[in-house]
Amino acid sequence: MAASTVPPPAPRSPSAASASDGSRSPRRALVRLYGVFLRHQLTWGRAAVIVVLGLMAMLVGVAIGAGADDEVTAGTEFVNNFAFTTVVPVCALMFASSALGDTVDDRTLVYLWLTPVPRWKIAAAATLASTTVALPLVFVPLVLAAAATTAGGALIGATAVATIVGTFGYAGVFVALGLRLKRALVWGIAYILIWEGFVASASETAAKLSLRAYTASILSQYTGVGLRLGTLTLASSIAVPIVVGIGFTALTAWLLTRVTVD
């Protein structure tokens, strides 16, 4: 009587094996997704734009330190009007909107969507990777620009804190925007210019829905310089951008459960 033979199991594809390993190790899956987004985020073109803006900020900071009569007021107003109106939101927009937006445009989102991990891990990895790439590019030149104004440690500390929480808040918002809308870069610029630049200044309620009001309030509370929109408490100014970043990351996770992939 011939012995029965059992066929060997079919080999798994590398992608299936990776997905299976990720589903068995939730922390490893998050780290792996974070690494994927991180590798695809930083491009020389995007980095060059932010580096140029950072250099401009440092040069103006030096000019303020050399010629301003009131370095604290002039330096605080400059950091508020340039760093947190242009540099931080634009940098976050350039990187965060492309984190998932590029996968929609080139139709590779399906590979992420089919990964057997919770959607919140994909959203969290995208937001964290965007923040990781954007933050050093704005943090270093803006803190150096604040120092160059010779306004003192209060402005340097305020700039550092506002840059960290502001970048994270904007990253959360723009990751969701990139997933939801085509041409997210255009919509993001419109949001920065119209809502943050004009509408937020028109009413107190609108200001509370603008991240710029919270970064301005951090600068004002640290330095004692009165700023337009800078009327909120220090605690809320630090907490709200973090909550916004987390909230919009949750929104991104929800959108991922309802997105249509090709």
Tens digit of pLDDT for each residue in 176-192? 999 988 888 999 999 99
Cα separation, 228 vs 60, in Å, equals 21
Note whether residue 245 is domain-resident: yes
Note whether residue 246 is domain-resident: yes
This prediction's pTM:
0.85
Cα separation, 77 vs 149, in Å, equals 11
Number of neighbours of residue 107 by Cβ within 10 angstroms = 10
- Structural domain for 93, as ranges: 27-256
Domain total in the chain: 1
Tens digit of pLDDT for each residue in 209-243? 899 999 999 999 999 999 888 889 999 999 999 99
CA dihedral 47, 60, 172, 199 (to 10 degrees): -130
The pLDDT of residue 261 is 61
Whether residue 155 contacts residue 76, with contact meaning beta carbons closer than 8 Å, is answered with: yes
Angle between helices 44-67 and 71-78 (to 10 degrees): 160
Cα separation, 100 vs 109, in Å, equals 7
Note whether residue 101 is domain-resident: yes
Note whether residue 9 is domain-resident: no
- Cβ neighbours of residue 241 closer than 8 Å, sequence gap 6 or more: 165, 166, 168, 169, 211, 214, 215
Note whether residue 20 is domain-resident: no
Number of DSSP helices (H) and strands (E) in the chain, helices first: 13, 0
Tens digit of pLDDT for each residue in 18-41? 444 444 565 688 888 898 888 887
Cα separation, 62 vs 146, in Å, equals 9
Note whether residue 3 is domain-resident: no
Whether residue 142 contacts residue 78, with contact meaning beta carbons closer than 8 Å, is answered with: no
Note whether residue 43 is domain-resident: yes
Mean pLDDT for each consecutive 10-residue tract of the chain (262 residues)? 44 39 63 87 77 84 79 90 92 92 78 81 94 93 92 94 97 94 90 88 82 95 91 95 97 87 60
Note whether residue 21 is domain-resident: no
